Structure 1
C-alpha cells in the first residue's frame, strides 16, 4: 500500500508548513522597539558612521517614550566593547545635547546630559569592581566629551588626579599602579587640547606623578625585558619598549606641542560642531571619585613568610617586542603610534572570546582611524594628503602587535593558542596581504635569536612557527637557513630549527615533515631532525642484548594481565637470580630490576595514551613497591634512588620522543609514584639519558626541554597546594557556619538565654572537624613538598651557574657569558657557552614565573641557597642574587 499518493499530500503539507512557520515564529526572540533602538546605537557605523550619526540622532529623538537608562546602557556597552567607536559616540552625545529646530531645548537638562548622568552610574560600578579595562575606556569617553565641551575641565582634572593619587599609595602593587597611570595618561592625551589651556599646572602634576612612579619601578623592567643583556642593568633595547615608558614619551611629546598632535593621533569628529550655547547650558561636572583599594584575601594559611602573598601575573611591567622600522609600523613612543597600538590591543583583548570576529575587526581598523594612517588597500581610494610620518602597513602593524602581546613576559595575557588562532584567521581573511607580513615577522624574529632574545620568547616563537606551519601545509622556505647549518650546533638559530621541527612532528608525522626540508637538513650530520620517527626504545627488545630473557618474562606477565602481587613475586625471584649470575653488587641488581620492570610496563603502554594510563593504573601497587626501594617493600614515602631509577628508565625508553618523557613524568607525579622534588632533582643530575647527541655532556646546563620538565614539576607542586588551600578554606567556612548555628540556637543544651553558658561557649576552645583536621595535615604536607621543589630547583640553578671550586662538574663558561666582553665575542662561542647562556635565561624565567611562590619562602630559600656567597664578589653569584632579589621584591 502506497502512502505517497499526490492527492493525500497537498492539504496536510500546507497545514504542517503553516504550523512549522508558526512554531518558528514563536521560537524567535521578541525584540521590543526599545531593544531595537539599543541595537541601532550599538551597531553605529556599520556602513558610514558620519552619515549614520544624524540618522541615529533623529531616531533617538523621535522615539517615544524615551527610557534614559536603556539609552545609557547602550552607550556603556558600545564604549566598553567597541572602543574604536568612542569618538563617534561622543559626537552622537554632543548632537543629542544640542537643540534643533524640530526639537528645541525645553526647560530642564538636555537629552545628552541626561544620558551622561546615567552613564556615570555605570562608570562608578566599573570603578567599584576595579574593572580596569572598562574604567579606562569610560575615561576615554569622558575625555572626548571634555574636548566636545560637554564636561567641565575642572571635574575632568579631578577625575584624572584621583587615579594619579593611586601612585602615591603606600606599598601600591605594580599592577594597580600601572593601570591607574595608564588611565590618567590616556585621559590626558585625549583631553589635553582643552585641559592644558585651562590649567598648565594640573597637566604637569599629572605627568610628574606618572614619571615619579615610573622612575621608582625600574628594577622589575630589567628582569622581564624580551631582549637580554646579562651584564647590564639597562633593560631597554632598540627593538623593545615598556608600556609606561611609551606612555610617558608620547605624553611628553603631546605636552611639548601643547597637544596639537592630538588631532592627528585621535579621531575627533565633534570638533566641527559649533560651541554649545553657554547661556543655556552648563558643562556637566563629573562627581568626585575615590579609586577603591585592592581586595586582599588572607585565608590564614600562612607559610614561611607569614602571609599568602599570591601575586597576579599582571603585577609585572609590560614589555613589547618590535619587529619593524618606524616607516613600516608606527613607533608607539609617538602619540599617533601609541594610539594605534592601544586601539589594536583593545580589540585583541575584548574579542578574546571570538578570534574570527577579532581578526575581522583588526583588518577593518583603518575605518576608525584618521585617513592616511595606513596605506590604502590595493585598488582602494588614495588619500590625497596623507599625514606626514604615517602611511604605515596595516598587516605588519597588526602582526607586530599581536606577537608583541603574545611575547609579554613572564606570561602572556591569554593562552598562546588564542594569539596563534588570530594570526591564522587573519591569513584566511586576507592571505595575499597578511601572509607576507607573517613571513617578514618570522624572518625578523629568527634574526634576533642570537642577539639576546629571551629564551622563553624563543620557545614561544618556535611554538607559534610550528602551529602556523601546520595550518598552512608546513610550507616554509627552509633553504634560506641552510647557511646557518655551519653555525655551532647549540647556536640559538640551530636550536630553534630543532625545536620547531620537533613541534611540527607532534602536529603531523615524521616522514611528512622530513619531506618539507632540503637535503642538507635531512642529512644526519645536519643535526636538525631525527633519522627515525619519534618512538619507544625498549632496551631489552634485542635478543642479542643482555637480560633479554629476563625482560621477556616480565613482559609476558604484563601481557597476560597478571596480578601486581604476582609480578612483584616474580621480580624478587628474578632479582635473586641476577645477583648470583652477575658480578655486580646488590645495588646493580636493584637498578636493573627497576629498569626492566619500568621499561616493560611502558612497552605495554606505548601503543596509545589510553594504553599508557591503563597500564599505570592497573599496576599502581607494583610501581609503588618499586618506588619504595624494592620489589618486596611494603611501601612508605619512597626511596629517592629508586624513584630516580624509575625516571631514568622512563626517559631511556622514550629518548627518541621527548614529549612522551614529559607526559610519563606528569603521570608518575599525578599517581604519586614520584614527587615533584624527585623530578626536579633528576632533571638537574640524572638527565644524561635524554640529552641529544649534539648537546653538551660537559658542564651542567639546561635546555628548553629540561625547563619543560622543571615547569611541569613545579606547576604540579603549586597546583596541589592551591587545591588543598581551597579545600581547607571551604571546610573551615563550613565549621564556622556550624559553630555559628549552634551558638545561635543556644548551644547543645538549647539554653539560649543563659548568659553564663554563652560566655563559657565563647571561652571553650574551637575544635576542628575531623575532615578539616585531615585537610590541614594534607595542606601542611603539600606545602612542605612545594617548598622542597622550589628549594631544590634554586639549588640546581646555583650549582649550574655559580659552582664552587670544589664541585665535581664546574661550569667555567657561566661567568664568561654574562660579561660584556664575553657577550661581544659570542660569534666564537662553542656549545658549552651557548648552553650556559640558555641556562641563565631559564633561571630568569624561573624567578619571574614563580615569584609569587618564591616570596612565600624568600627568607629560608635565600639563606639556604646563597649563604655560601656571603662576602663573595663572584659576578655569577652577584647576578644570581640580584635576579632573586628583583623577583622577590627585595630590590
Structure 2
C-alpha cells in the first residue's frame, strides 16, 4: 500500500507544511525481482566484456544455482532470457553454453533442467513446422526451421556434457529427413525445405568440436562417418534462375549457390586437426570445469513425417523472414571484392566455413532483433568480440592502412567486421525476388550504424556506393531503384556531402547527348530525389560541383516540350514563356484572353455541395467556346485539360487536399466527360497528361495525383500504363529511365495484384509494349534476326575507379558512337524491365503464360532475345 501525508495527523502542522508537490513513495520490489533486474541484463550482454567474461561466468553460475529452485519467477525469467540470447544473438551462444556447462558442474540437476528446457523448445518448434494455423501466428518471426537451427547449435556446443550418441543421433535424424525429403522429388525438381534442413544442420556440425575438439575422439569418427554418408546420399540439385540474377549481363563476380558449398566447407573446417576452426573460434577450454556424468535427453525427438512435411516443402506457407528465403535458391552476395592493390579480401570467402557462418550469424541478428534497431546496430559491428582475436583486423582500419600492414606481414588478417556487417545488410536490401523486411528497417539500420561510428563506417559505405555505381549498367532494374533509395537516404543523413567530382568524367561525356545511359540517369534521379527529400534546395546545390548543377532542374519533360504542350491548345495565340513557370496554373495566367472564365471555374470548385450546380460549370465552358473558340484548336481537349488542371490546382496544397477535391468533384467530372463525344481512353489520356504537365517540376506528386484519379474511377489504370510507356519525343521513353515513372509502374501493378480479380489486360499490355520497344529499337541498330545485341564498347575511362585522366585515353573515345550506344541501352532498359516485372509479378504473369509465350514466339524478331525472354517465362512459373 502507498501512503500519503494526512493533514489531520498530529505531526502535521500548517506552520511546518512542506509546499513541495507530494509524490508517491517508491514501492519496494520483491528481492527476486530486484535480482532478475540485475542478472538478466548481464546475461544479455554476456561476452561483450572480454576482461570480465571469466568473472561473469563464475558469478552468474553461482547465482543461478543458488536461486534456480527457490523462485519460479526467477526460473522463468532466466530460461526466457537464455532462450532470447540463443535465438536473437547467436554469436553469444558459446558464452551461454559455457555458462550452462559451468552451472551443470555446480549442480547437475539445475544443468539438466536448463538442457531439458532447450530440448523441449526444440520439440515445440519441430511440432510447429507442420501446424498451419500456428505458423500464421508466428510468421512475423524468423521461422521454425531457423529456430531449430539455433537451438541445435546450442546443443552442439554442449557436447562436453551431453551423451555423445544422443547428440550424434540428433544430427543424423535431421540429415536423414533432409535426404528422404529430397528423394521424394525428381532429380530435376528442387525441394526448398530439404535444402533448408540440410544446410541448417550441417552449418552446426563444427560446433560439436568447439570445446575440446580433437580428431582422435569417438565423436569425431562418428561425425566423419555421418558426413561421408550424407555426401553419398544427398543429391544436390542446383537450380539456376536467370530471373534471380542481380546483374543482367556480365556480373562482377561468379555467383555461388550456398547449398553446393556447405558440406565441402564443413569437412574442410574439421580437417587438419581443426586448423580452420582454431583460427575462427575462441579457445575457452581453460574455463571448462570438471563435469559429472553425461546428460541425456529425456525422450527421443519426434520429427514430422515425410508425408506431413511435403505440403510445406515449397517453403511458402506463412514461414518467417529467414525460412522463407529458401523458397528460391540461396546465393552468396558480394559487395567488397578482392582489393586490387593489396590483393586481399576484407570479408571471408563465402566458400569457406567461416564466411558461411559469419554471414549466417549476421543475418540472424538483423532479422531476429528487428524490434530493437539500436541493439542490432551495436551487435553486428562487434561480432569480432566473439571470435578469436586476430581473425578480424583491428576495428576501423582503412584500406590504406590494411595495404601497409599486409605488405609488412602478409599473414595478418585483413577481414573487416564493418565490411561483413554492411555487406550482409545490403544482401537483405538487394535480395531477389523479395526482401524479408521493409526497406525502411534496413535503411534506418545502416543510418544507425553510421551514426554510431561515422569515421569508420562512412568509408565502408563509400566503397559500396562506388561498387554499385560502377556496375550500374548491368544491375537489375529493381535493384537500381533500391540502390537509389539507399544512396539518397544515406546522402540526406550525410548532409548531402558526396565527392561528386568522382563522376564528372561520365557526366561530361554522356550528360548532354545520351538519354538512356544508366549512370547519367542515376545521377539525375539521385539529385532529384535529394531535392524531394529536403525543403532547402540550397543544401543540395551547395554539395554539387559545377558540372552537376545542370541536373538540379527537376522538370519531368524539357521546357520546350512543356511550351509545345500549352501552345498546342491554341491557334494564333503566342505562349508567353516568361509566364510558363512550374507548378503554376498556366490557364489562369493574366495574359490569357479568358482568364476571368478560368477564375470562374476555380470559384465553382470552391463552392459547397449545396451551392454547386453542374449547369453553372457547363455554362462557363460554353462561354469560353463562344467567346474564344476561334483560338482553341480542340475545345473538347481544352475542356478536359482545363478542368483537370483546375482541380489539381485547387488541391495543390497537399496530397490529402488533392484527394479531397478529386473525390468531391468526381461525379461532376465524370458527368461532364460523358457529354464529350470523344473516345473514352483519349479523354482519360488528356487527364493524365494535364496532371503531369501541371506537376512538371515534381512528377512524383503528379503520378500520385493520377493514382487518385484512378482510385476514384475517373481514369482506367490502363491509361496510366499507356502514358508511362509513351514517347514524349521519338525514341525517348521516360518509363524506362525516370525514377518516378518506374516507381509509378511498380505502384500501379502492385495495386492491381492486390485485387481479387487482377486486371491481367494491363499486365499483358506492359509486356507487349516493352517487347514492342525492343522490336522498334533493333532495326535502328542494324541487328539481324540471329545476332546478339552487342554490349557498348566503352573504354577504360568509364571505370570510375580509374583516376588516370590522361589525354591519350580520352582520344580513344569516339563520340559519334554515342547514338548507337543509346539504342543499345534502350534495348537493355526494355528487356531488363521485362525481366524484373516477370519476376516480381510471377503470379499474375503465370496466368498469362500461354498468351505471352505465343506473343513472344510470333512477334519478337530477334532470336537471341526471343530465346532469353522464353527462358524467363519458363522460370517464372517455378518461382
Q: Which of 47, 68, 84 is 1:77 aligned to?
A: 84
Matched, 1:54 2:58: yes
Q: Which of 759, 771, 776 is 1:798 aligned to?
A: 771
Check 1:560–1:32 CA distance in 2 against 1; reply closer, same or farther (3 A cut). Answer: closer
Check 1:34–1:709 CA distance in 2 against 1; reply closer, same or farther (3 A cut). Answer: closer
Q: Which of 280, 291, 295 is 1:265 aligned to?
A: 280
Matched, 1:322 2:335: yes
Check 1:38–1:428 CA distance in 2 against 1; reply closer, same or farther (3 A cut). Answer: closer
1:445 corresponds to which residue? 468
8 Å contact 1:373–1:386 — kept in the other structure? no
8 Å contact 2:785–2:863 — kept in the other structure? no
**Shift, 1:249, TM fit:** 5.4
Q: Which of 595, 598, 601 is 1:554 aligned to?
A: 601
Check 1:593–1:364 CA distance in 2 against 1; reply closer, same or farther (3 A cut). Answer: same
**Shift, 1:358, TM fit:** 1.2
Q: Which of 621, 625, 638 is 1:592 aligned to?
A: 638
Q: Which of 393, 403, 413 is 1:390 aligned to?
A: 413
1:31 corresponds to which residue? 33
Name whichever of 404-413 and 592-601 sits farther off.
Answer: 404-413
1:783-837: per-residue Cα shift (whole Å, max 9, x none)? 1x52222222222222223x3xxx7x87645979997671263565532322221
1:244-643 aligned at under 5 Å gives the runs 244-245=259-260, 247=262, 250-251=265-266, 253-254=268-269, 260-267=275-282, 269=284, 273=288, 287-290=301-304, 293=309, 315-319=327-331, 320-325=333-338, 326-377=344-395, 388=411, 390-450=413-473, 452-488=474-510, 489=514, 490-509=516-535, 510-523=537-550, 535-536=582-583, 538-544=585-591, 551-559=598-606, 563=612, 565-566=614-615, 568-570=617-619, 573=622, 577=626, 581=630, 588-626=634-672, 629-630=674-675, 639-643=680-684
Q: 1-side partners of 2:48 and 2:736: how far apart?
A: 56
The alignment of Structure 1 onto Structure 2 pairs a total of residues equal to 764
Q: Which runs of 5+ in 1 are unaligned?
A: 1-5, 231-235, 298-310, 722-782
Q: 1-side partners of 2:547 and 2:336: how far apart?
A: 29
Q: 2-side partners of 1:239 and 1:350: how far apart?
A: 29
8 Å contact 1:239–1:321 — kept in the other structure? no
8 Å contact 2:181–2:191 — kept in the other structure? no
Q: SS at 1:540's partner residue?
A: helix
**Shift, 1:322, TM fit:** 2.1
1:134 corresponds to which residue? 147
1:686-738: per-residue Cα shift (whole Å, max 9, x none)? x52xx8xxx942799564433222211111112232xxxxxxxxxxxxxxxxx
Check 1:159–1:114 CA distance in 2 against 1; reply closer, same or farther (3 A cut). Answer: farther
Q: 2-side partners of 1:9 and 1:391: how far apart?
A: 75
Name whichever of 64-73 and 360-369 sits farther off.
Answer: 64-73
TM-score using structure 1 length: 0.76
**Shift, 1:287, TM fit:** 2.1
Name whichever of 564-573 and 504-513 sits farther off.
Answer: 564-573
Q: Which runs of 5+ in 2 are unaligned?
A: 1-11, 130-143, 314-322, 339-343, 560-579, 796-816
Let me know the Cα RMSD of the aligned residues: 4.2
Check 1:149–1:678 CA distance in 2 against 1; reply closer, same or farther (3 A cut). Answer: same
Q: 2-side partners of 1:624 and 1:644: how far apart?
A: 14
8 Å contact 1:696–1:831 — kept in the other structure? no
Check 1:708–1:140 CA distance in 2 against 1; reply closer, same or farther (3 A cut). Answer: same
**Shift, 1:500, TM fit:** 0.8
**Shift, 1:161, TM fit:** 2.7
Q: 2-side partners of 1:551 and 1:198: how far apart?
A: 88
**Shift, 1:133, TM fit:** 2.5
**Shift, 1:650, TM fit:** 1.3
8 Å contact 1:487–1:494 — kept in the other structure? no
**Shift, 1:71, TM fit:** 5.1
Matched, 1:158 2:173: yes
Q: SS at 1:353's partner residue?
A: coil
Check 1:169–1:560 CA distance in 2 against 1; reply closer, same or farther (3 A cut). Answer: same
Matched, 1:837 2:872: no
1:772 corresponds to which residue? none
Check 1:853–1:150 CA distance in 2 against 1; reply closer, same or farther (3 A cut). Answer: farther
Q: 1-side partners of 2:291 and 2:640: how far apart?
A: 86
Q: 2-side partners of 1:28 and 1:534: how far apart?
A: 71
Q: SS at 1:251's partner residue?
A: helix
**Shift, 1:574, TM fit:** 5.3
Q: 2-side partners of 1:342 and 1:819: how far apart?
A: 43
Name whichever of 667-676 and 266-275 sits farther off.
Answer: 266-275
Q: Which of 237, 246, 251 is 1:226 aligned to?
A: 246
Q: Which of 166, 171, 182 is 2:199 aligned to?
A: 182
**Shift, 1:21, TM fit:** 4.2
1:682 corresponds to which residue? 723
Q: 2-side partners of 1:174 and 1:191: how far apart?
A: 27
Matched, 1:825 2:798: no
Check 1:321–1:542 CA distance in 2 against 1; reply closer, same or farther (3 A cut). Answer: farther
Q: SS at 2:336's partner residue?
A: coil
Q: 1-side partners of 2:782 and 2:115: how far apart?
A: 62
Check 1:617–1:442 CA distance in 2 against 1; reply closer, same or farther (3 A cut). Answer: same
Q: 2-side partners of 1:493 and 1:620: how far apart?
A: 42
8 Å contact 1:814–1:836 — kept in the other structure? no
1:587-629: per-residue Cα shift (whole Å, max 9, x none)? x4322211111112112222332331222122111232355x4
Q: 2-side partners of 1:246 and 1:792: how far apart?
A: 42
1:83-109: per-residue Cα shift (whole Å, max 9, x none)? 1111122222223333x5xx5x6xxxx
8 Å contact 1:551–1:597 — kept in the other structure? no
**Shift, 1:506, TM fit:** 0.8
8 Å contact 2:469–2:519 — kept in the other structure? yes
1:110-129 aligned at under 5 Å gives the runs 110-129=109-128
1:626-676: per-residue Cα shift (whole Å, max 9, x none)? 55x43599xxxx922222221121122212211112211221222222232
Q: 1-side partners of 2:434 and 2:550: how far apart?
A: 36
Q: 1-side partners of 2:356 and 2:538: how far apart?
A: 46
Q: Which of 679, 697, 706 is 2:732 aligned to?
A: 697
Q: 1-side partners of 2:581 and 2:459: how far apart?
A: 33
1:202 corresponds to which residue? 226
8 Å contact 2:734–2:741 — kept in the other structure? no
1:238 corresponds to which residue? 253
Q: Which of 71, 91, 103 is 1:96 aligned to?
A: 103
Check 1:190–1:472 CA distance in 2 against 1; reply closer, same or farther (3 A cut). Answer: same
